[in-house]
Chains A and B, each alone.
Chain A
């Protein structure tokens, strides 16, 4: 059985308010990936559409996208796992290709979050938790991650300054990413200035600057079996390892509050499948929906021991020149987080790195890259390992 390769990657600009409909938004990411792959729609024999529900009114978006993108009459599939939807879409596409059922599959992730207000959006996201037993208390994503931040700080001495430094790093690279929604510099001083918006309290201990922004955006990844990948593409990037896990939605059903078990379990599976260990990873994208999420990811992925994630950011080891460059495209904190498009955007960044086409943020000759994508408050976890 041959390998599965990525032959095209693309994404739209991530923006606060996209001036078009969801099908037009999806077209932007798809077109970018099709130009990258330099193939025609008839070469694609199935599509996988990924998003979280209830941000727009379209039921069954897969059908409308297949029509609008010129992918009729090929079959299409809809995948939903909140913020990890398009990574799970890649997992489905991998199995479709690996099984021999399809040869070339396009994974299109999208989200148009601006159709509803920010507080409505928080309500939707709060309902990505347990609606029967948690949501009636008025839950929302920043507060859930804030509970993890509080536990991590209490157990390991992680500080608010450490969290601020994660955002400072994100902004360093966000300024270089023309597709990012937030492109201004951020300094640690902004977090200690009560007049600055970054320091504003959201859900203790997290502040405005600790949280990524909602955005509208789309992404597209095109995968192919080994034979077609070699035919269509002179620099295919191979899928070496995949891992995925779930955990109790209700936090009352969990035992760990200083890390995400799904991140660790997915990573362990992906490392085993790829036959590599954390020290073999040359560049990584991790799910930094909140600053604390990035520090926990360092630990859950084995780049640092539990509690020692803060040492990596203090030593600038996750900057481009460091021992393990992480989120050097600005991460979710700078790019913005259009839920269903995020995983595809992370995969795109690593593919460009492995093709030596990442421009200003290019890491020196990476051989193996990793993508860590989390859905909800660590209820879905996906880790993908890619190699040239």
Chain B
């Protein structure tokens, strides 16, 4: 019998360019409403985006931790044009939140008008299901 490959990562974002990764459980956690990063069990380093391997101590023993609380908006840009496959999402804003030990790259929730976005504001990272049934996360006001 042919072995089924775990290709859950193809469900990430409007268009995923990766299907198979050792961090596929990230998608399982999104399905349960949680955005998770990984922590090295050997040296304690925290990673977002999640990694399967620690470059610091070369360990591959990772555990998941939830991205909770708020992060500070470092910068963002609202796009008026998008790459092939993202046209229906326009306009949308990509941004970075700083959580201290790590940063999160993602999108600002589409229902926040640009004039209500200011650098330094505290935002939360929340799971979202996209119109095409893909899974992602967005930054929301607290």
The chain A residues found within 8 Å of chain B, CB to CB, are: 117, 119-120, 122-123, 126-127, 130-140, 142-144, 146-151, 154, 200-206, 250-254, 257
Contacts and interface: CB of A to CB of B under 8 A. Distances in A.
A177 to B, nearest CB: 27
Contact of A138 (B21, B74, B79, B114): B79
Interface in B63-86: 74-86
Contacts, number: 123
B45 interface: no
Contacts of A252: 48-49, 96, 102-105
B114 A204 contact: yes
A146 B106 contact: no
A205 B15 CA distance: 25
A204 B74 CA distance: 15
B75 A137 contact: no
Interface string B14-32: 1111100100000000000
Interface in B84-132: 84-87, 89, 92-96, 102-107, 114, 119
Interface string B48-70: 11000000000000000000000
Interface of B is mostly: mixed
Interface of B: 9, 12-18, 21, 48-49, 74-87, 89, 92-96, 102-107, 114, 119, 136
A117 B84 CA distance: 10
Given A132-B18, A147-B75, A138 B82 contact: yes
B80 A202 contact: yes
A138 B130 CA distance: 13
B76 A147 contact: yes
Contacts of A147: 75-77, 94-96
Nearest to A131: B17
A136 B16 CA distance: 5
Contacts of B93: 204
Contact of B83 (A126, A200, A206): A126
A79 B14 CA distance: 32
B64 to A, nearest CB: 16
27 contacts: A117-B84, A119-B81, A120-B84, A123-B84, A127-B17, A130-B105, A131-B17, A135-B17, A136-B12, A136-B17, A138-B15, A140-B81, A142-B77, A142-B79, A143-B77, A144-B77, A147-B75, A147-B95, A150-B76, A150-B77, A150-B119, A151-B119, A202-B79, A251-B105, A257-B74, A257-B75, A257-B96
B127 to A, nearest CB: 14
A138 B138 CA distance: 13
Given A132-B17, A137-B13, A151 B75 contact: yes
Q: Which of A123, A130, A149 has the most CB of B within 10 A?
A: A123
Q: Which of B76, B94, B96, B107 has the most CB of A within 10 A?
A: B94
Contacts of B48: 252
A136 B15 contact: yes
Contact of B81 (A122, A130, A205): A122
Given A137-B13, A143-B77, A205-B77, 10 more contacts: A119-B81, A119-B87, A122-B84, A127-B17, A131-B18, A132-B9, A132-B21, A137-B106, A138-B79, A138-B92
B49 A203 contact: no
Nearest to B50: A133
A122 to B, nearest CB: 5
Given A137-B106, A252-B103, A150 B84 contact: no
Contacts of A254: 103
Contacts of A200: 80
Nearest to A149: B77
Contacts of B95: 147
A131 B93 CA distance: 18
A251 B96 CA distance: 8
A204 B107 contact: no
A137 B136 contact: yes
Given A150-B77, A252-B49, A257-B74, A140 B18 contact: no
A200 B81 CA distance: 11
B83 A122 contact: yes
Q: Which of A126, A131, A138, A154 has the most CB of B within 10 A?
A: A138
A143 B90 CA distance: 13
A194 B20 CA distance: 46
Nearest to A117: B84
Contacts of A122: 81-84
Nearest to A136: B13
A119 B87 CA distance: 10
Nearest to A133: B49
Contacts of B105: 130, 133-134, 137, 250-252
B104 A119 contact: no
